[in-house]
């Protein structure tokens, strides 16, 4: 069995966000897949942190993740302020790139779960073009509702036949985190990774933000411009509320524990 890397976490309003970077996160995922253990990896930004403020069960799911990488510059800035100077953003599509490149060399396999009808199959084709030799051993497009007993059984059958190393979950937060926590024990997988909109970014259904926008912590605004009707209510609450609560935490006016 492979010895697991221990990665410390910063405290972002009671959510433990791993003080890592894309390469180290990919190393961790590879080691976890080799270890003989099972686990899930969260990709958490401000949205996930704020959802966890009103959902104790979700906060526990995030804190029990094998790794919970910082998907957003605000979480990185909080981590650096707590002494984790080498912490870097781990954007979902970037993590997918790192792991796909590694898997071609090391023979590890992938299963794609999520997206609108046809997206997972399109993503499979795109990955096979981008990474010659990659082994995508299955796809599954879920309905926009909880899976039925029969659908769970069909998913379990497909996964059992494929036995993937990396099971990518392309759903929205917090749906994907709940799915991973619930289904990890049921499915014959090694590592589950919840990467949100990465499926749509990789297939061109969402335009990726320029690098300077990402570094400035303004990717939420870039997404809002693309999907104003769906996202404006979310960001109208999340952004100011996060800033206020982080200020309270930094000043010691509110204390947050990292409970699992």
Tell me: do 113 and 156 sit in the same domain.
yes
pLDDT 10s digits, 224-249: 677 777 766 776 788 899 999 999 99
pLDDT at 1 over 50: no
130 in any annotated domain:
yes
Q: Count the domains in the chain.
A: 2
State the pLDDT confidence band at 160, using cuts at 50, 70 and 90: very high
259 in any annotated domain:
no
Q: pLDDT over 90 for what percent of the chain?
A: 71
What is the reported pLDDT for 185? Answer: 94
CATH of the domain at 140: 3.40.50
Give CA–CA dist 191/42, Å, rounded.
11
Average pLDDT over residues 165-177: 94
Average pLDDT over residues 49-53: 95
Give CA–CA dist 117/163, Å, rounded.
23
Give CA–CA dist 120/191, Å, rounded.
18
105 in any annotated domain:
yes
141 in any annotated domain:
yes
Tell me: do 187 and 215 sit in the same domain.
no
Phi and psi for 52 in degrees, rounded to 5? -70, -15
Domain that holds residue 72: 9-202
Could you tell me which residue, 2 or 230, shows the higher pLDDT? 230
Phi and psi for 117 in degrees, rounded to 5? -55, 130
What is the reported pLDDT for 4? Answer: 61
Tell me: do 198 and 96 sit in the same domain.
yes
Tell me: do 127 and 43 sit in the same domain.
yes
DSSP 207: P
pLDDT at 210 over 70: no
State the pLDDT confidence band at 145, using cuts at 50, 70 and 90: confident
pLDDT at 139 over 90: yes
Query: At which of 182, 202, 222 does a domain end?
Result: 202
Query: At which of 168, 183, 202 does a domain end?
Result: 202
Q: What is the pTM of this model?
A: 0.90
Tell me: do 128 and 232 sit in the same domain.
no
DSSP 146: P
DSSP 136: E
Average pLDDT over residues 186-213: 81
What is the reported pLDDT for 197? Answer: 82
255 in any annotated domain:
no
Tell me: do 177 and 59 sit in the same domain.
yes
Tell me: do 74 and 115 sit in the same domain.
yes
260 in any annotated domain:
no
pLDDT 10s digits, 76-101: 999 999 999 989 999 999 999 999 99
One-character DSSP codes across 235-258:
HHHHHHHHHHHHHHHHTTSS----
Tell me: do 80 and 193 sit in the same domain.
yes
Contact 40, 28 (CB under 8 A): no
257 in any annotated domain:
no
pLDDT 10s digits, 7-42: 999 999 999 999 999 999 999 999 999 998 899 999
Averaged pLDDT score across all residues of the chain: 89
Tell me: do 170 and 63 sit in the same domain.
yes
What is the reported pLDDT for 72? Answer: 87
pLDDT at 208 over 90: no
**Which residues on neighbouring strands pair with residue 120, listed in sequence order?**
none
Could you tell me which residue, 235 or 63, shows the higher pLDDT? 63
Give CA–CA dist 135/128, Å, rounded.
8
State the pLDDT confidence band at 258, using cuts at 50, 70 and 90: confident
What is the reported pLDDT for 46? Answer: 93
Tell me: do 154 and 178 sit in the same domain.
yes
- Which two tokens mark 201? 């970014």
Tell me: do 157 and 227 sit in the same domain.
no
Tell me: do 193 and 218 sit in the same domain.
no
């Amino acid at each position: 069995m492979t010895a697991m890397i221990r990665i410390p976490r910063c405290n972002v309003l009671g959510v433990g966000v791993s003080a890592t970077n894309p390469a180290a996160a990919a190393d961790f995922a590879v080691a976890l897949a080799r270890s003989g253990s099972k686990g899930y990896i969260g990709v958490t930004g401000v949205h996930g942190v704020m959802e966890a403020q009103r959902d104790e069960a979700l906060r526990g799911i995030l804190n029990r993740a094998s790794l919970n990488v910082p998907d957003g510059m605000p979480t990185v800035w909080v981590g650096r302020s707590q002494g984790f100077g080498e912490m870097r953003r781990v954007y979902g599509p970037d993590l997918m790139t790192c792991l796909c490149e590694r898997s071609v060399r090391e023979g590890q396999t992938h299963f794609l779960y999520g997206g609108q009808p046809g997206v997972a199959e399109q993503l499979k084709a795109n990955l096979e073009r981008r990474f010659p030799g990659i082994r995508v051993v299955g796809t599954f497009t879920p309905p926009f509702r909880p899976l039925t007993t029969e659908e769970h059984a069909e998913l379990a059958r497909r996964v059992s036949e494929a036995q993937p190393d990396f099971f990518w979950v392309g759903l929205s937060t917090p749906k994907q985190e709940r799915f991973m926590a619930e289904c990890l024990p049921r499915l014959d997988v090694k590592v589950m990774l919840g990467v949100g909109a990465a499926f749509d970014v990789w297939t061109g259904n969402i335009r990726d933000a320029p690098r300077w926008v990402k570094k400035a912590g303004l990717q939420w605004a870039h997404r809002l411009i693309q999907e104003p009707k769906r996202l404006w209510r979310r960001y109208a609450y999340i952004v100011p509320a996060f800033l206020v609560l982080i200020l309270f935490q930094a000043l010691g006016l509110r204390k947050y524990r990292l409970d699992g």
